[in-house]
Amino acid sequence: MPDRPALLAELRAALGPTAVLDAPEEMAPHLTDWTGAFTGHAFAVVRPATTDEVAAVVRACVAAGVGVVPQGGNTGLAGGAIPGPDGAAVVVVLDRMRRVREVDPVADTITVEAGVALQSVQESAVEAGRLFPLSLGSEGSCTVGGNVSTNAGGTAVLRYGMMRELVLGLEVVLPDGRIWDGLRPLRKDNTGYDLKQLFIGAEGTLGIVTAAVLRLFPATPRRATALLALESVEAATALLPLLRGVAGEQLTTWELISREALGLVLEHHPGARDPFDAEHRWYGLVELAGASADVDVRLQDALEAAAEAGLLVDAVVAGSPQQRAALWVLREGVSEAQKIAGATLKHDVTLPTRALPDFVAQVGPRLRDALPGVRLVTYGHVGDGNLHYNLSAPVGDDAALRAAAPTLTRIVYDAVAGLGGSISAEHGVGVLKRDAAASYKSEVEVELMRTVKRALDPRGLMNPGKVVP
């Protein structure tokens, strides 16, 4: 058993007494995740302020044989930032590493520490007259370290790609406490393996990201946004090439919302309002962004082309920033509304876009057979082939959903695998999907992952029990 008092004393000597929390009430917010589904125990929660302090924490933990769990904003949805039940880990929270180190207008980059909130990066980019395009519902709380480590996606992936495509360089504290300085702003660097890619999407299992160089883009002050009423998921997928054809690079967002999902937002989000007079089966949120007013014209052109192609039932175009925000609430409010509406079972899946209609048609009836009354709260980034295929309990019967959860999830995942998709699109694997993800991979692929993990973290102390089975 590790010597807890000795480890706490060492951590306090390295970080100062106030940066090491061990009282249960101080640690509690860091030991349960956003969904409330994952709770763990820890030796201590530490809040280092510099990369050297992070390295000192890791070295102390390795010497004591204690696991290290990196945590950013704790908005992850897969239990990746929560320690296990045995209490044999130290949670390393990066919330004091919040410096924007540099904005470089020539290289078009921003260098930030891992604890900077995503929204602060966006604001720093705006101050410099640029754009940082990653955009998530959790952007006020999630951090760059978490975004890098989960390879976050969000609502502008269609135009700018996921976090992997937005990172140029990283600084990482390795599982043995050494610091890897890969904080290079280079767009071209072919000097061997692209090591930063190993840490992107690794969910803290290969090291602690302490800083990142991120790409900036031209500002897009003009936005044109509309909510479309659609008959089917087929219409949503058929609209993708049409929208791309008319709007080209200006198309940033193409999101899908089912009536059931929209209904929950209308019921539970104060101020949310249905912009249509009638109910529709599906809705698509489309947004174009650019530097000039021609985004409005292009959106009108796209809507006319969609109507001519018979793909549109109705449409509402935002005429002001307030109306735009009101449309976005209908999409961004689903997670919170679902949380209020009872027990949930989340599936963050991705499929070849053309397979989405088949998937939805196949899976819905099977789930309803398995659990009558289950609510299908389907929404997501249809432009990326990514659905949040979430389920809510039959009204008033949370226990039924919990009891049926393994069967329901198996139905969803088998259909995803059968159609050539992946069971984890952007929310990560954590503990939630660790075993399931491996079960749909080949032995060769799982063994390759184990080989990488063993090579970097032979003692298995870096975010133990996550991602790699």
Ligand X SMILES: Cc1cc2nc3c(=O)[nH]c(=O)nc-3n(C[C@H](O)[C@H](O)[C@H](O)COP(=O)(O)OP(=O)(O)OC[C@H]3O[C@@H](n4cnc5c(N)ncnc54)[C@H](O)[C@@H]3O)c2cc1C
Tell me how far CA of residue 392 lies from CA of 16, 259, 413, in angstroms: 45, 14, 17
Binding flags for ligand X, 187-226, as an x/- string (CB under 6 A): ----------------xx---xx-----------------
Q: Residue 94 interacts with ligand X (CB under 6 A)?
A: yes
Of these, 111, 147, 220, 250, which contacts ligand X (CB under 6 A)?
A: 147
Question: Considering only 133-141, 252-260, 354-362, 438-446, which stretch makes contact with ligand X by CB under 6 A?
Answer: 133-141
> Of 147-155, 269-277, 314-322, 397-405, which segment contacts ligand X by CB under 6 A?
147-155
Residue 143 is a binding residue for ligand X (CB under 6 A): yes
| 463 interacts with ligand X by CB under 6 A | yes
Q: Which pairs with CB-CB distance under 8 Å and at least 24 residues apart come from 36-40?
A: 37/79, 37/432, 38/79, 38/82, 38/430, 38/431, 38/432, 39/82, 40/82, 40/83, 40/84, 40/85, 40/87, 40/89
Q: How many C-beta neighbours within 10 Å does residue 142 have?
A: 24
One residue of 27, 56, 66, 71 binding ligand X per CB under 6 A? 71
Sheet order of strands, 208-215 included: 100-104, 109-113, 208-215, 167-173, 179-182
- Nearest approach, Cβ of residue 137 and ligand X (Å): 3
Interface with ligand X includes 253 (CB under 6 A)? no
Contact 345, 390 (CB under 8 A): yes
Alpha-carbon distances, residue 258 vs 289, 298, 336, 387 (angstroms): 24, 26, 16, 11
Shortest Å, Cβ 190 to ligand X: 26
Cβ closest to ligand X, residue 253 vs residue 335? 335
In angstroms and rounded to an integer, the radius of gyration of the C-alpha atoms of the chain is 23
In the set 48, 67, 76, 421, which binds ligand X (CB under 6 A)?
76
For position 327 contacting ligand X by CB under 6 A, the verdict is: no
Q: Cβ neighbours of residue 79 under 8 Å, at least 6 residues apart?
A: 33, 37, 38, 430, 431, 432, 466
What DSSP character marks residue 50?
S
Considering only 72, 84, 383, 385, the residue that binds ligand X (CB under 6 A) is 72
- Closer to ligand X by Cβ: residue 7 or 77: 77
Q: Shortest distance, CB of residue 99 to ligand X, whole angstroms?
A: 14
Using CB under 6 A, list all residues that contact ligand X: 34, 69-77, 80-81, 94, 114, 136-138, 142-143, 145-147, 149-150, 152-154, 203-204, 208-209, 335, 426-428, 430, 463, 466
